[in-house]
Each structure stands twice: as C-alpha cells, then as structure tokens.
Amino acid sequence: MAQPSVILATASYDHTIRFWEAKSGRCYRTIQYPDSQVNRLEITPDKRYVAAAGNPHIRLFDVNSNSPQPVMSYDSHTNNVMAVGFQCDGDWMYSGSEDGTVKIWDLRAPGCQREYESRAAVNTVVLHPNQTELISGDQNGNIRVWDLTANSCSCELVPEVDTAVRSLTVMWDGSLVVAANNRGTCYVWRLLRGTQTMTNFEPLHKLQAHDGYILKCLLSPEYCEPHRYLATASSDHTVKIWNVDGFTLEKTLIGHQRWVWDCVFSVDGAYLITASSDTTARLWSMSTGEDIKVYQGHHKATVCCALHDGAEPSPA
C-alpha cells in the first residue's frame, strides 16, 4: 500500500478510527476500536504509525497496513489517557492520563520508562520544542513543567484556582505558551530562559476567548510565519482564530452544529482541520474562514483528529 503524502485520521465515540483522503473527503480505511473510546490521536513524525489514546491503554497502529490489529499496546495507565505525543525524532512517546500521571515510553520497548505524578487528572501534555521539558495541565488547574534532564518538576503555575486546564500549546520556537480552561479563558505567557536550563513564565496576556469551555487551543506552525495564530475550539460550536500579535480576533469558523473538540493546522498553517460532536470533521481555509470539505462517516461524536502533511524528518 503506497503511503499517502497527507495522513488525516479521526476518531469517534462510535469506537472507530477513520483515515480520509483530505482533498476528496473519501474515507479509505476504518479501524474498529471496541475496547474504549479514543480520546486523542497522534501521528508519528515519520508518518508510519498513529497512536490512539484510549482507556486506559495507548495503541499504535500501522498507517500503511490494512491490518485491524495494533502493532503495539502501552498499558500501564489506570484511567483515560487524555494526551499523547512524540519526541521530534520519534524515539519516544509521552502521555498524560486521568490517573494523575505523565508517562514516557520508549517506542522500541514495551513498558513505561518514566512516570511523573501530577496529583490530579491530567488533561493535556505538550513537549517544549527543546525536547527536554514536558508541560502538563490538570483538572485542578495546575500547570507543571517536567524537566526530563533533571527528572523532576521544575515549575508549577496555577492560573485560576480550581479551574481545569483543558489544553496547552507552545509556539514552535518556544517563545510562548498558552493554557485554555473550562471558563473560556486563555492565559498566555512568554517563555524566558534563565541562566539555568529551566524555563520561566512571564505573564503576557489573558484572553476571554469564549463563553463556553475551550476544549483545544493550538498555536500555528513554523511554516505559517510571519503570521502567528492561536486557534481555540469550544463547546460554543465555534473555532476562533486569534492573531498572536495583540490577540485580536481574526476569524470565527462557523459551521459545526455541536461542541468542537479538536483542531490541527496543516504544516503551512493555511488550513485547519476540526472534529466535532456533530459527528463530522471539517477542513477550513484560514484565508477565507470557510469550510471547504466535510468528512462524514462517523455515527457519533468525532472527538479527535490528527494530520501529518509535512515532510518526514530526514534520517540523521
């Protein structure tokens, strides 16, 4: 099976993962996922595998196979896995779970290599572009930086007490971090490097982005430069696009009929894919703010989406 240059996948409460032809909107592969719902999807940097975060396991599927079976299962979480991602070379995977832990996994070996205790259900984890710090957000409103070199928590922040942090995003150059919460607020910090390797947070902006929950926030990728955007997906059925320069509202993406759970930029930031409880995923043009493709096929809420339309990392 020839590898598509664009890999687009969605997962739904209907217990399936679907792969789509991005341009035509055709679903060309469906994986049944009977054990649980899938909370998060992430594609490996080399485009070979997709990780599905479920309850309580993470399963790795081969993108270029028709096999319904996972190639690997990662099983030491004890509750819903809400976050999953990969180090830039694809050597290891990180995850965060409602069991209160952040874990690191070597993809070539079964079992978890490291575990960090957040003491509250973890909703979101991102890897700093320096590849040496993980940042997690939890249900109690804590943001923690996990220094992978020192193997410890190097920083703790609580932007709003007892308000769950739903989503975190870091600018590709490590200059900004944004945290979105259950009250529709985004907190923005400038990330400063002190004399130590530790990252310091300098408050930059507080943005009241939505009246409802923000379920996902995402900063635009490197190849979107010089434009810098923040996308916020909400329970109010919209996605808003903010200009990072001043955090002014650029566009509101209107079309979904229910909660918008997830969003992902194309590699050049020209398009955005979104996933919604209305069962659809949509492809939006960032220049017009219009939806140009609707991906229909799931029978229940579509809660996560993953896209890899960039080049694979060149072998070192």
Give pLDDT tens digits for 212-231. 999 999 999 999 999 999 99
How many folded domains does the chain comprise? 1
The pLDDT-based confidence of 192 (bands split at 50, 70, 90) is confident
**pLDDT averaged over the chain?**
94
User: What is the predicted pLDDT for the residue at 197?
Assistant: 55
pLDDT band at 99 (very low <50, low <70, confident <90, very high): very high
pLDDT digits (tens, 9 = 90+) for 261-300: 999 999 999 999 999 999 999 999 999 999 999 999 999 9
Question: Residue 233: pLDDT above 90?
Answer: yes
Please indicate, yes or no, if residue 166 is contained in any of the structural domains.
yes
- The CATH code of the domain that includes 16 is 2.130.10.10
Q: Is residue 154 part of a domain?
A: yes
Q: Which domain holds residue 197?
A: 7-308
SS3 222: helix
Residue 314 lies in a domain: no
Measured distance CA(99)–CA(120) in Å, rounded: 7
| pLDDT score recorded for residue 308 | 95
The predicted pLDDT at position 297 comes to 98
Q: What is the model's pTM?
A: 0.95
Of the CA atoms within 13 Å of residue 231, those in its CB half-sphere come to 27
pLDDT in the model for residue 29 = 97
Q: Is the pLDDT of residue 2 over 80?
A: no
What backbone torsions phi and psi does residue 309 show, to the nearest 5 degrees?
Answer: -120, 15
Tell whether 313 is covered by a domain.
no
251: enclosing H helix or E strand: strand 248-253
* Residue 203 half-sphere exposure toward CB, CA atoms < 13 A: 8
In a domain, 130, yes or no: yes
For the residues 152-158, what does the mean pLDDT come to?
94
**Maximum average pLDDT range among 87-91, 189-193, 274-278:** 274-278
Looking at residue 190, its pLDDT comes to 95
For residue 2, is it within any domain?
no
The answer to the question of residue 205 being in a domain is: yes
Report the Cα–Cα distance between both ends of the chain, in Å, rounded. Answer: 26
